[in-house]
Amino acid sequence: MPKPPAVLLPGTGSDEVFVRSVFAGPLAAAEIALLAPEPPHGSRLAVGFLTMIDSVAERRECPLLVGGVSFGAHLAASWAVAHPDRCAGLLLALPAWSGEPAGAPASRAAQASADLIENEGLDATLRLSTAGVPQWLADELNRAWRRHGDGLAAGLRIAASYPAPTPAELAKLDVPVGIAACSDDPVHPAEVAHAWARALPRAAVRETTLTALGEDRESLGRAAVEAWLSVR
């Protein structure tokens, strides 16, 4: 039976370039086509991505494999909750919270970055945000954040306040779900990934590290794809 195409969304402040670097290779190895849309501008980040998935689903004759990284994972799971009959499975990397953000580290970080951008400007925010982080992450933030331009702060605020699916909502999704977590990521705690897996009827978690991600972007995508294949 042919595998469905995968529509994968980036995290806030990120983009489809990073999604492709993480997932293109692992999905190709599994003979799955990747669709990675560009992020909508500013405050349309969430509604724009959800509308994009709707449009792809309407054009396809088979259910979709959906997913993403961080906020992209939240949005994909929310779409699946709303359209369970159109979802063939989920590929989720680094979910950051369940339900309301309630001060989750990723929410606080996105809000603080939005405040800095509006008060200090993008250049100063990037200098502060990249001080002391691994070079690969500093390079990625400089590349992707500048691409978002004047919509970056609004997008960060949308992500910071947007609810993820609750455990009760996840429990109704009877589709195979692969979840990737980084055991050394304080912003996306691995325990959140494991909590999602416990709530979902058919899910598995594979762990990697930020250190491995810095050396090999595909390490994160492989973890998610391998987890999904193990429960498919």
Per-residue pLDDT tens digits for 40-86: 999 999 999 999 999 999 998 889 999 999 999 999 999 999 999 99
Q: Residue ranges of the domains in the chain?
A: 6-100+164-231, 105-157
Cα–Cα distance between 205 and 215 in angstroms, integer?
A: 21
Return the CATH superfamily for domain 6-100+164-231: Alpha/Beta hydrolase fold, catalytic domain (3.40.50.1820)
Cα–Cα distance between 105 and 100 in angstroms, integer? 12
Residue whose structure tokens are 């509308």: 51
Supply 42's token pair: 């500013």
Mean model confidence pLDDT for the chain: 97
Q: How far is CA 122 from the centre of its chain?
A: 23
CA distance 170 to 77: 8
- Cα 126 to Cα 105: distance, rounded to the nearest angstrom: 18
Cβ-count burial 16-34 (b if 16+ within 10 Å, e if not):
bebbbbbbbbbbeeeebeb
Q: Where are the beta strands (DSSP E) in 79-215?
A: 87-93, 177-182, 203-208
**Mean pLDDT of the region 104-114:** 98
Residue 151 pLDDT more than 80? yes
Alpha-carbon gap, residue 36 to 58, rounded angstroms: 17
* pLDDT value for 141: 98
pLDDT at 106: 98
Mean pLDDT value of segment 29-34:
96
Q: What is the pTM of this model?
A: 0.97
**Would you state the pLDDT for residue 1?**
60
Distance CA 44, CA 157 (A): 11
Residue 187's nearest CA partner among 103, 111, 109 is: 109
CA–CA separation, 53 vs 103, rounded Å? 28
pLDDT confidence tier of residue 189, bands split at 50, 70 and 90 = very high
| 2 pLDDT more than 90 | no
Residue 60: its pLDDT value, please?
A: 87
